[in-house]
């Protein structure tokens, strides 16, 4: 049999009632070209979720728990503040379930995200970038209160960490059952991933060190400054350590209530800052050397994993989270160095044979 025809597939052995049933069970993939010798690095690729990010889990959890407890009525409008991925996940869930969705988002985030949400029927209300994440959050609250809409509250809801405790963490345990897992590396946006997975790893894989990362120029946790909160756990003000950073989806200008549990209960062993430029470089390396397309947040998490790998003992096993895909960053610095037109080398290749050449501009 020819080598190119030996691979076969068996199908999933089931039919799916809706796209929402396909959320989760994302793969942990070994890094081959980039990992240092003697150290195994795996990446959990959340782009395999149907709307392309880890936030698909959160979006489904928020809506289904609200349906179950009666806080979301049939046909009621959902509103949420988001840098993009949660909004995209909510747009998918709301489209599948028949809820109108309004998203508030600072105008500094990529236009691809706006278009993806609008493509799935959501309305996107932009807020001024100088008012940061807190501005778009407060706009969502205003709209919810003025219209009687359901506010998703991703930064405060218990549904956030719970879905990662029940799915993401369980997948990690299953994939590494009977195997070493020395480090698990993640960043934070809302904090749901580190809090939910951290609860489970602390109980069931206590030998696994949990490493949390945040932008080097916006070290909210690293500053040690306590976040001011309102009585409903929402942020009362912007955190003084915040500065604008290029790692979209990570670290808003406040410490979310969901993340606070990880801080208070010491659900991580080490906090490692990472520069946005390093995240961009690592995302490009993952694409070019491993064929794995991720965004700046994924590149940043991987940059931290590589730092750990460089100091680790032989035999160490590291798993890091890649929260989303890279295609929603086309208009950001991640793709700034990627040309649209042919390079000189590509032009030379075209001219190396006589036919089918573009006319010179």
Q: Phi then psi for 83, rounded to 5 degrees?
A: -80, -10
Pairing of strands 209-215, 183-186: parallel
Catalytic residue list contains 297: yes
Q: How far is CA 337 from CA 22, 63, 165, 281, 298, in A?
A: 34, 39, 38, 11, 18
Contacts of 226 (CB under 8 A, 6+ apart): none
Q: In what order do the strands lie in the sheet with 28-30?
A: 28-30, 40-45, 317-322, 183-186, 209-215, 270-274
> For residues 229 and 255, what is the distance between their CA atoms, to the nearest angstrom?
9
Q: How many CA atoms lie within 13 A of 285 on its CB side?
A: 18
Rounded to whole angstroms, how far apart are CA atoms 157 and 154? Answer: 6
Contact predicate 125/137, CB 8 Å: no
Q: What tokens were used for 128?
A: 């001024």
220 touches 251 (CB < 8 A)? yes
Dihedral Cα 200, 205, 208, 209, nearest 10 deg: 40
Could you say which of 44, 53, 55, 213 is catalytic?
A: 55
Is there a catalytic annotation at residue 55?
yes
First-to-final CA distance of the chain = 49
The single residue of 61, 83, 297, 300 carrying the catalytic annotation is: 297
- Interior/surface letters 215-244, b for 16+ CB within 10 angstroms, e for the rest: bbbbbbbeeeeebebeeeebbeebbebbee
| H or E element at residue 151 | strand 150-151
Q: Structure tokens of 188?
A: 């934070």
SS3 category, 88: helix
Extract the tokens encoding 261. Answer: 């549990």
Closest CA to 324 of 242, 245, 209, 247: 247
- Residues labelled catalytic: 55, 297
């Amino acid at each position: 049999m020819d080598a190119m025809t030996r691979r076969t597939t068996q199908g999933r052995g089931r039919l799916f009632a809706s796209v929402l049933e396909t959320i989760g069970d994302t793969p942990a993939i070994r890094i081959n070209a980039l990992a240092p010798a003697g150290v195994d690095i795996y990446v959990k690729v959340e782009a395999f979720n149907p709307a392309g990010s880890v936030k698909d889990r959160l979006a489904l959890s928020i809506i289904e728990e609200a349906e179950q407890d009666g806080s979301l009525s049939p046909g009621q409008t959902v509103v949420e503040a988001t840098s993009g991925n949660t909004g995209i996940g909510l747009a998918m869930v709301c489209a599948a379930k028949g809820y109108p969705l309004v998203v508030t988002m600072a105008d500094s985030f990529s236009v691809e995200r706006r278009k993806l949400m609008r493509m799935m029927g959501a309305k996107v209300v932009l807020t001024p970038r100088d008012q940061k994440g807190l501005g778009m959050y407060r706009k969502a609250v205003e709209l919810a209160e003025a219209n009687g809409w359901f506010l998703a509250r991703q930064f405060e809801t218990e549904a956030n960490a719970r879905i990662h405790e029940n799915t993401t963490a369980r997948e990690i345990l299953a994939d590494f059952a009977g195997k070493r897992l020395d480090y698990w590396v993640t960043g934070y946006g809302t904090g749901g991933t580190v809090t939910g997975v951290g609860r489970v790893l602390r109980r069931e894989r206590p030998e696994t060190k949990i490493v949390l990362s945040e932008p080097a120029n916006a070290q909210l946790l690293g500053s040690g400054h306590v976040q001011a909160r309102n009585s409903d756990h929402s942020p009362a003000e912007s955190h003084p350590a915040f500065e604008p950073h290029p790692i979209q989806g990570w670290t808003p200008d406040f410490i979310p209530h969901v993340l606070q549990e990880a801080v208070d209960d010491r659900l991580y062993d080490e906090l490692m800052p990472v520069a946005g430029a390093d995240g961009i470089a690592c995302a490009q390396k993952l694409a070019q050397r491993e064929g794995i397309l991720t965004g700046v947040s994924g590149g940043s998490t991987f940059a931290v994993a590589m730092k750990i790998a460089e100091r680790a003992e032989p035999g160490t096993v590291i798993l890091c989270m890649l929260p989303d895909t890279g295609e929603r960053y086309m208009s950001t610095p991640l793709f700034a160095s990627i040309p649209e037109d042919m390079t000189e080398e590509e032009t030379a290749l075209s001219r190396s044979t006589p036919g089918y050449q573009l006319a010179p501009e």
